[in-house]
């Protein structure tokens, strides 16, 4: 929680929790984790790292299942990157746009530590027929049936990256944020960090990576992408 000297976060939605950094208070190039904005489509899953596993399958030579200790034992890398919700500033649209009415604070800069996604993919052996890497989180639910963009039923949050982006130096699986373990709201125990891309690609609570041979056209990839463009 913020100290008396720290500004208060702005609640945009209570359930699932969506909170905004008070951008006018920006005073440093790194945003403290306790003040970092939170963007959730579904309630944050309560994962136990002792039971959590990362599965890697699809168009690979060697399907994998890795625990967190194994991933942490790999060569780590740290870089600082900005993540921004694609809806940041939505409140200023005329006419209004569907979605959370963010002002300027759905953005933040942090130091992320983890392993390059490329290292995991190399362990699995990506087949030459691969075109994208699909990242799926443990969060799931039903998108409001009253909205134009309602989901067809219960769905998980999943997004894909082109293979060339998945193996880039700017794409990692992070287990640390600002030199501390990820918090539950920020993707504990493992999340994607995709430098230069909007936050929708930074999948949190990752449990499953699937290398695919055709472009992914799931709900969060196709329908939402068309709406946001």
Q: What is the CATH superfamily name and number for domain 45-83+108-228? A: Oxidoreductase, molybdopterin-binding domain (3.90.420.10)
Q: At residue 229, does pLDDT exceed 50?
A: no
Structure tokens at 15: 């359930």
Cα distances (Å, whole numbers) of residue 228 to 17, 35, 151, 154: 21, 26, 16, 21
Q: At residue 169, does pLDDT exceed 60?
A: yes
Residues 11-17, mean pLDDT to the nearest whole number: 94
* pTM, entire model: 0.91
Please report the pLDDT score of residue 145 as a whole number: 57
The larger pLDDT score, comparing residue 191 to residue 7, is at: 191
Could you check whether the bond before residue 152 is cis, i.e. omega within 30 degrees of 0? Answer: no
Report the distance separating Cα 226 and Cα 228, nearest Å: 6
Residues 155-165, mean pLDDT to the nearest whole number: 95
pLDDT > 70 fraction of the chain, expressed in percent and rounded: 92
Could you report the per-residue pLDDT of 29-55, keeping only the tens digit for each? 999 999 999 999 999 999 999 999 999
Report the distance separating Cα 13 and Cα 19, nearest Å: 7
How many CA atoms does the CB half-sphere of 127 hold within 13 Å? 15
Please report the pLDDT score of residue 225 as a whole number: 47
Q: At residue 226, does pLDDT exceed 70?
A: no
Please report the pLDDT score of residue 151 as a whole number: 73
**Domain boundaries along the sequence of the chain:** 45-83+108-228
Could you report the per-residue pLDDT of 64-116, keeping only the tens digit for each? 999 999 999 999 999 999 999 999 999 999 998 888 999 999 999 999 999 99
Whether the Cβ atoms of residue 115 and residue 76 lie closer than 8 Å to each other: yes
Whether the Cβ atoms of residue 99 and residue 90 lie closer than 8 Å to each other: yes
Please report the pLDDT score of residue 7 as a whole number: 72
Do you know the residue count of the chain? 229
């Amino acid at each position: 929680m913020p100290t008396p000297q720290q500004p208060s976060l702005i609640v945009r939605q209570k359930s699932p929790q969506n909170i905004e950094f008070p951008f006018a208070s920006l005073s440093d190039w790194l945003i403290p984790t306790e003040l970092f904005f939170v963007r959730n489509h579904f309630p944050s899953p309560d994962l136990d790292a002792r039971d959590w596993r990362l599965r890697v399958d699809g168009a690979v030579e060697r399907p994998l299942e890795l625990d967190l200790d194994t991933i942490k034992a790999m060569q780590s890398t740290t870089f600082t990157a900005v993540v921004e919700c694609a809806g940041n500033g939505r409140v200023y649209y005329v006419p209004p746009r569907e979605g959370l009415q963010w002002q300027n604070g759905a953005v933040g800069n942090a130091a992320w530590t983890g392993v390059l996604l490329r290292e995991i993919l190399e362990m699995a052996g990506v087949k030459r027929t691969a075109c994208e890497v699909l990242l799926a989180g443990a969060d799931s639910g039903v998108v409001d049936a009253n909205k134009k963009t309602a989901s067809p039923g219960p769905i998980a949050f999943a997004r894909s990256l082109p293979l060339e982006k998945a193996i880039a130096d700017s794409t990692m699986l992070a287990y640390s944020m600002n030199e501390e373990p990820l918090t539950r709201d920020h993707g504990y125990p493992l999340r994607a960090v995709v430098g230069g891309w909007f936050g929708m690609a930074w999948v949190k609570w990752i449990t499953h990576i699937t290398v695919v041979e055709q472009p992914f056209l799931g709900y969060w990839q196709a329908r939402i992408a068309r709406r946001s463009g």
